[in-house]
Copies of this chain bind each other. A is one copy, B any other.
Amino acid sequence: MKARVTVTLKSGVLDPQGKAIEGALRSLGVDGVASVRQGKVFDIELDGSDRAKAEALLKQAADKLLANTVIENYHVEVLG
């Protein structure tokens, strides 16, 4: 089963990397970008085919390793 975990910074947390990308886009002539925030995405292949079990497993993985829940939110999506 395939799944995707998306990890993004909580609002209010500074994102210097995003700010740098904003500046770089501007200097490359890409106009109209108001703000950029960078996150991470994990494409995960799971054994088994139980959707509920997969979601529980992914939440456990995100809490333990993939996200720092003090400053980051995560979103789990089982793609089937």
A residues with CB within 8 A of B: 6, 8, 18, 21, 24-25, 28, 30-48, 53-54, 57, 60-61, 64-66
Contacts and interface: CB of A to CB of B under 8 A. Distances in A.
Query: Which of A6, A18, A42, A53 has the most chain B CB atoms inside 10 A of its CB?
Result: A42
B35 A45 contact: yes
19 contacts: A21-B42, A21-B66, A24-B65, A30-B57, A30-B60, A30-B61, A30-B64, A32-B47, A32-B48, A32-B57, A33-B46, A35-B44, A36-B44, A37-B44, A38-B41, A38-B42, A39-B40, A40-B40, A41-B41
A74 B11 CA distance: 24
